[in-house]
Amino acid sequence: MSTQEHDDAPLDVAVVGGSLAGCATAVHFATMGYRVAVFEKKATPEEYHKQLCTHFVQPHTVPLLNALGLAHLREPSWSVTTKAVFVTPGGVVETPGPGYDPEVPDSYALNLERRVLDPAIRESARRHGVRFVEATGVEHVEEDAEGWILHTRDEDGPRLRRARLVVAADGRRSRLAGLLGNEAESRPNERAALFGYFRGIEAPADNRSVFVMNDRDLACSYPLVDGRTELVLFAEKSRVEGWRGADGRMQEFLKYFDGLPDAPSVTNAVPEGPLLGYGDYPSLIRRPVAGSVPFVGDAALSLDAMSGVGCGFALLTAQLLARSFTGRALDAEGVRAGLDDYRQRFEKTLLPHAEGICGDSLVDKDEATRKRMFETICGNPELSRKYLALTGRMVMPAEFQRAFMRGLMARGSGAARK
């Protein structure tokens, strides 16, 4: 369904990029009463969605759906309510109850597929009065005393648009980042990823999502709606490099999962299609503000998918930006103050997580130290809760580190008394 519009009236906010972060940003600013348009370079038929995603929506993200008009996606017909279980070298990290935090009723994760989420958030943007301008690229931007001039191009040729604020939500390969000199800092990721969708795999109790640490790999199982399952493997690149050809790769992939005693049985697994994935996916970190343009979602922070924060951080950056502009005018002073506030929120809220995620992307061979770490976590219920909260991005890394040091000292004291 085409949603192309040709209204050239000046905009309050022009969002460049129409995926999760872009649409969420647009909804927030439209809710504040601003005139907003999203410019998306791709044509987006109703069913269009991102395919290279494991769609595990962390618990910190789930409440954010409400303000975007997407609360219905939390219902069983649209997604699966889930919770992580980690099978580690030192034991199983699991806590009682359906949620990550027993004191927070909705502290659960969602297995919410992008084939559902992407069309829903675009439709929500339209319901909130956002103009969704598809098949239109932004080729250049200019700033003047009144705001921004956007040089766009669609099937009818070039066109100029005006906006008081431009938001870069144009993804990992952000064109605006190139235009504005916002170079990405690249961090190595030493794992490749493969994933696919299957039938015939029995879901674990309470629809738990199981994460098995095997050597330095992470094998994941996500129960989905309609009795389907997504299997994901983040593995050392050398392990999967020899898995050649679609059939051979699928055979080796299922053989790998079949050899994991703590993973759901794949004996009766039937693939729904070929495996997807990537061989090289470094983490990219950009400045959250370049000049007078804020960056959100993957345009600002595109991290190792093993952390499962892509969807969550896309929606969170949109929320942080909107909060930074709440109650401010979009004049020069208001924009400057809003951008300064966003920069601080971004650096305080997201960068500590990014550092830990980038560290986890390196394949460390010190298994003895890793085993002792997880033995400490698994032997302490409070520390297990903190670890799950950290992986769900519900607590900051420093809070977990403090709790871990306390647990380590308590374990050492107990051993000394014995």
Give residue-wise pLDDT tens across range 200-221. Answer: 999 999 999 999 999 999 999 9
Sheet with 283-285: list strands edge to edge: 185-187, 283-285, 301-302
Asked if residue 154 has pLDDT above 80, the reply is yes
Does 254 share its domain with 346?
Answer: no
- What CA–CA distance (Å, rounded) separates 245 from 243? 7
The pTM of the whole model exceeds 0.85:
yes
Does 208 share its domain with 179?
Answer: no
pLDDT at residue number 2: 36
Question: Which residue, among 63, 49, 60, 44, has the nearest Cα to 20 in the 3D structure?
Answer: 49
Residue 305 lies in a domain: yes
Percent of the chain with pLDDT over 90: 88
Does 197 share its domain with 274?
Answer: yes
Task: List, for residues 181-196, the tens digit of each pLDDT value.
Answer: 999 999 999 999 999 9
Does 294 share its domain with 218?
Answer: no
Residue 62 lies in a domain: no
Residue 413 lies in a domain: yes
Does 146 share its domain with 265?
Answer: no
- How far, in whole angstroms, is CA 261 from its chain's centroid? 29
Locate all alpha helices (DSSP H) within 181-306, ordered by sequence: 237-240, 246-258
Residues 6+ apart with CB under 8 A from 326: 32
Does 38 share its domain with 157?
Answer: yes
pLDDT at residue number 102: 81
pLDDT at residue number 412: 67
Does 221 share its domain with 181?
Answer: no
Does 38 share its domain with 167?
Answer: yes
Residue 129 lies in a domain: yes
Mean pLDDT in residue range 17-32: 98
Task: List, for residues 100-112, the tens digit of each pLDDT value.
Answer: 988 887 899 999 9
Residue 93 lies in a domain: no
- Please identify, among 357, 373, 395, the residue that sits at the C-terminal boundary of a domain: 357
Task: Output the six-digit token pair for 41.
Answer: 């370079």
| Domain around 375 | 365-417
CATH, residue 211: 3.30.9.100
Total domains present in the chain:
3
Does 316 share its domain with 409?
Answer: no
